[in-house]
C-alpha cells in the first residue's frame, strides 16, 4: 500500500492535465505506468511528441505539499495520432507512421500509474481522450492489460491481431470505418466525486 510519501489518491493535492508536454516528462510517465517489458524508448516518445504533439496529454499530480510546496509525480498520459487505415490489411508494424489528415486514430497510449487505475483521474483521462477522437471512423489500439481491452471494446473495437512482442503478450484491437455502438460515450464512465482541480 502506498505511503504518505508515494503517489496515491488519498494524498493528492493537485492534478494538472498538460497538453503538448515535454518529451522527458512523457517518457517518465510511460515508465511509471508500465513494467520494463512494455516501456517505450526515448526515440519513440520523441517521434510521437514531434510528429503529432496535439495528440499527447500528460497528467501529473502534486503530493504532500498543500498550497506551498510538494512534489510533482507523473500519473499517466494519453497519446494518439492519425495513421494509414490500410495498415489494418496486413500484419501490424512495430512502428506506426503518422499520417496527417487521415480519418483514423491510432491510440498509442491511455494509461495511469497502478495506484490510480479506476480513479477519477483515470476517468478524466479517458473522457478527454474520447472527446479528442470523437467522430473519427477508424480506430486502432495496442493493449497489454484487461483495462486496455475493456476500453477498446467500449469504443467498438474488436480483436484484430495477437502475438508475442519481445516475449510479452500483445494485442491489437481495431474498428474499421463507421462509428461503434458506443462511440458517443467515454470508455470509462462513472461519478466524478472529490475530483482534484484540473488545470
CATH of the domain at 104: 3.40.630.30
Whole-number pLDDT of residue 98: 97
Query: What range defines the domain where residue 89 resides?
Result: 9-175
pLDDT averaged over every residue in the chain: 84
Confidence of residue 33 (pLDDT cuts 50, 70, 90): very high
Determine, yes or no, domain membership for 169. yes
pLDDT for 10 beyond 90: no
Q: What is the mean pLDDT of residues 32-40?
A: 92
Q: Is residue 1 part of a domain?
A: no
Cell, residue 139: 480506430
Q: Could you give the CA distance from residue 16 to residue 61 in angstroms, rounded to a whole number?
A: 6
Residue 147 has pLDDT above 80, yes or no: yes
Can you give the pTM of this predicted structure?
A: 0.82
* Three-class DSSP category at 116: helix
Name the pLDDT band for 66 (thresholds 50, 70, 90).
low
Query: Does residue 183 form part of some domain?
Result: no
* C-alpha cell recorded at residue 178: 463507421
Q: Give Cβ neighbours of residue 57 (< 8 Å, ≥ 6 apart).
A: 17, 18, 19, 21, 77, 78, 79, 125, 128, 129
Query: Does residue 79 surpass a pLDDT of 90?
Result: yes
Assigned domain for 77 exists = yes
pLDDT of residue 103: 96
Number of domains in the chain: 1
- Structural domain includes residue 142: yes
Amino acid at each position: 500500500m502506498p505511503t504518505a510519501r508515494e503517489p496515491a489518491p488519498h494524498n493528492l493535492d493537485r492534478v494538472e492535465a498538460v497538453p503538448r508536454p515535454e518529451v522527458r516528462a512523457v517518457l517518465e510517465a510511460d515508465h511509471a505506468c508500465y513494467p520494463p517489458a512494455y516501456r517505450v524508448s526515448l526515440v519513440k516518445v520523441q517521434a510521437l511528441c514531434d510528429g503529432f504533439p496535439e495528440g499527447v496529454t500528460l497528467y501529473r499530480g502534486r503530493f504532500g505539499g498543500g498550497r506551498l510546496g510538494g512534489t510533482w509525480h507523473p500519473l499517466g498520459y494519453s497519446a494518439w495520432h492519425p495513421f494509414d487505415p490500410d495498415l489494418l490489411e496486413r500484419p501490424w508494424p512495430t512502428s506506426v507512421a503518422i499520417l496527417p489528415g487521415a480519418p483514423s486514430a491510432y491510440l498509442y497510449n491511455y494509461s495511469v500509474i497502478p495506484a490510480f487505475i479506476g480513479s477519477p483521474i483515470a476517468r478524466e483521462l479517458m473522457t478527454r481522450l474520447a472527446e479528442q477522437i470523437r467522430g473519427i471512423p477508424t480506430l486502432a489500439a495496442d493493449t497489454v492489460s484487461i483495462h486496455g481491452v475493456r476500453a477498446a471494446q467500449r469504443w467498438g473495437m474488436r480483436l484484430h491481431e495477437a502475438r508475442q512482442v519481445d516475449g510479452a503478450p500483445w494485442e491489437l484491437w481495431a474498428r474499421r470505418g463507421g462509428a461503434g455502438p458506443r462511440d458517443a460515450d467515454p470508455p470509462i464512465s462513472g461519478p466524478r466525486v472529490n475530483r482534484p482541480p484540473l488545470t
